[in-house]
Amino acid sequence: MVWIRLYISCIAFLSVAGGISFGLTRLAGRVWNNENMILMLALQKLILMLYWLPISFVCVCIPRISYENGVKSYTGEFVCSSVSSMTVVFNLLGMIWLVGFLLSAVCAGIKMHRLAELMKGNVPVQNARYLDIFEECRRQAGVIRVTFSQNDQLHSPITAGLVRKQVVLPFADYTDTELQMICEHELTHIKNGDLSWRVFALVTSWIHWFNPLIYLLLRDLDSMQEMICDLSISIDNVHYTKKEYAAFLVKLTDQETANAYTLALTENRNQTVRRIQKMAETKKFMKPGKVMLGLSSACLAVLTMIPTIAVSAETAKLQEDWMRAEEVITIVEPQDHSAPSIEEYCYDSGNVVEIDGSQEMEPYSATVNLTRTINANTRHLYQYQSMAAGDIITIVASCDDSSIRYRIGIKNKETGAMSSISVTGRTNTDFKISESGTYTAFVENNNNFQIKVEGMAFY
């Protein structure tokens, strides 16, 4: 089916765009040495958007769609056609993609269920000292609608909830400084909307599960979010130093807290080492201006789209070549090698009933299916399309009974002029357009009984 091929093609084009943009961002990060963390995070978020925005797919399809006499016209097989071998291949690819998508979603659903079961053990914080410090940090961060809980199954503080935000602590005895670090870090995550972006990235990875670069992007996104939180609260903080903060990170390292739908102050030792190294290297936390963010994002989008559109257009062309090759194989079947009929030029004499089938058909393409049962003394017209002088309309048609004579041809919509030949059996005929205009292919049955004609017209 055409829609499966288009859907898989669109996902492939999106994956190419995301992969190229990720590579460009990685290259830019090495040039800048990841000094501007906020800018790098903004570009990573743009990459996620490029995994969703079908810009290249639209750019490939739009040139192949036009309007002829108020009717939508498809001028490229990529948009609306398929062949049997291609259908088999893309149906298989579609099934493979669907299995991978469902497995990814099921694994995520299991993690969500485990988290939901864990969150059932939350109880509101009762310690007045904890509540005072949390409230002070919440006001400073400008965060509202967030709850403060404790859970005896946790070993490290986490932030959870996409709608109902909550900071959850294990039942442990924290000093005022340690509690200040926890609250400032987790509330900064909430203020920046980090958990929503992580979940968005996770869903993106379900769709593009076959692309290994998406998993590198998820890892970089998590790491960048954590480093930005670290630097924004630890540099020039009046309550603690960077060294004290780093020591507390080491103390809290806990792999068990890792979950796709939570934000933990620290998860594993490798990540903790990278964060501490970054804090040691950074003396001042700089935020880029809006102009810099805008220009950088625009440059990344343009540099990504140019090669992506080129690759997508070539892929669409390859698919069209595939379809044409199989159509040619179908055409080059045993032909009727009897003496060809003489092409006749005439106008409608009114001797047959003319049926305008262009109003019955779906929006057409450069390839039109002629297969139809045609009543006695009836001329059936197919879809019209604008043609220029010198263009060719090829009609490939056949009738099961080789003894039956029928007529094929083309008709000018504006003038009514027709060019046709009388044929039997199977035929493959080119009709050259003598003057520009709107033309249709037709099949005419001059017999006193129905006939069934099969074939294609190539505009």
| Domain harbouring 401, CATH code | 2.60.120.380
Burial of 211 (0-12, 13-18, 19+ CB in 10 A): buried
Report yes or no on 219 lying in a domain. Answer: yes
With beta carbons less than 8 A apart as the criterion, state whether 56 and 297 touch.
no
Same domain for 65 and 163? no
Looking at the whole model, is its pTM more than 0.75? no
Same domain for 373 and 429? yes
- From CA 374, how far away is CA 453, in angstroms rounded? 8
Report yes or no on 383 lying in a domain. Answer: yes
Report yes or no on 41 lying in a domain. Answer: yes
Same domain for 264 and 158? yes
Same domain for 132 and 246? yes
**CA-based Rg of the chain, rounded to a whole angstrom?**
33
Same domain for 27 and 52? yes
- From CA 191, how far away is CA 421, in angstroms rounded? 75
Instruction: Name 292's bridge partners.
Output: none
Same domain for 148 and 261? yes
Ramachandran region of residue 455, left (φ > 0), alpha (ψ -120 to 50) or beta? left
The residues, any chain, with a CB within 8 Å of residue 242's CB and separated by 6 or more, are 234, 235, 279, 280
Same domain for 268 and 297? no
Same domain for 315 and 185? no
Neighbours of 392 (CB within 10 A): 11
How many structural domains comprise the chain? 3
Same domain for 309 and 173? no
Res 258: pLDDT: 47
- From CA 231, how far away is CA 163, in angstroms rounded? 26
Res 65: pLDDT: 78
- From CA 381, how far away is CA 175, in angstroms rounded? 86
Angle, CA of 195, 50 and 158, to the nearest 5°: 10
Res 25: pLDDT: 92
Helix axes 84-119, 2-32, angle to 10 degrees: 60
Res 349: pLDDT: 64
End-of-domain residue from the set 227, 248, 281: 281
Per-residue pLDDT of the chain (459 residues; tens, 9 = 90+): 688 999 999 999 999 999 999 999 998 887 776 568 889 999 999 999 999 999 999 999 988 876 655 555 566 678 877 778 888 999 999 999 999 999 999 999 998 898 889 899 999 999 999 999 999 999 999 998 899 999 998 888 889 888 889 999 999 889 999 999 999 999 999 999 999 999 999 999 999 999 999 999 999 999 899 899 999 998 888 889 889 998 888 887 654 444 556 676 665 677 778 888 888 888 777 788 889 899 999 999 999 999 999 999 999 999 988 877 775 544 444 444 444 555 566 666 667 888 887 765 555 567 888 888 898 889 998 888 888 888 888 888 888 787 888 999 999 888 888 888 888 888 888 888 888 888 899 999 988 888 999 888 888
Same domain for 76 and 217? no
Of 316, 319, 304, 311, nearest in space to 51 by CA: 304
Same domain for 129 and 265? yes
Res 334: pLDDT: 42
Report yes or no on 329 lying in a domain. Answer: no
Report yes or no on 338 lying in a domain. Answer: no
Residue type, 350: G
Long-range contacts of 122-126 (CB under 8 A, 24+ apart): 122/149, 122/150, 122/151, 122/166, 122/168, 123/149, 123/150, 123/151, 124/148, 124/149, 124/150, 125/149, 125/150, 125/169
With beta carbons less than 8 A apart as the criterion, state whether 430 and 392 touch.
yes
Report yes or no on 332 lying in a domain. Answer: no
Of 155, 2, 11, nearest in space to 82 by CA: 2
Res 416: pLDDT: 83
Report yes or no on 87 lying in a domain. Answer: no
Instruction: Name 354's bridge partners.
Output: 379
Q: What is the domain extent for residue 57? A: 2-82+289-324
Res 387: pLDDT: 87
Report yes or no on 112 lying in a domain. Answer: no
Same domain for 152 and 269? yes
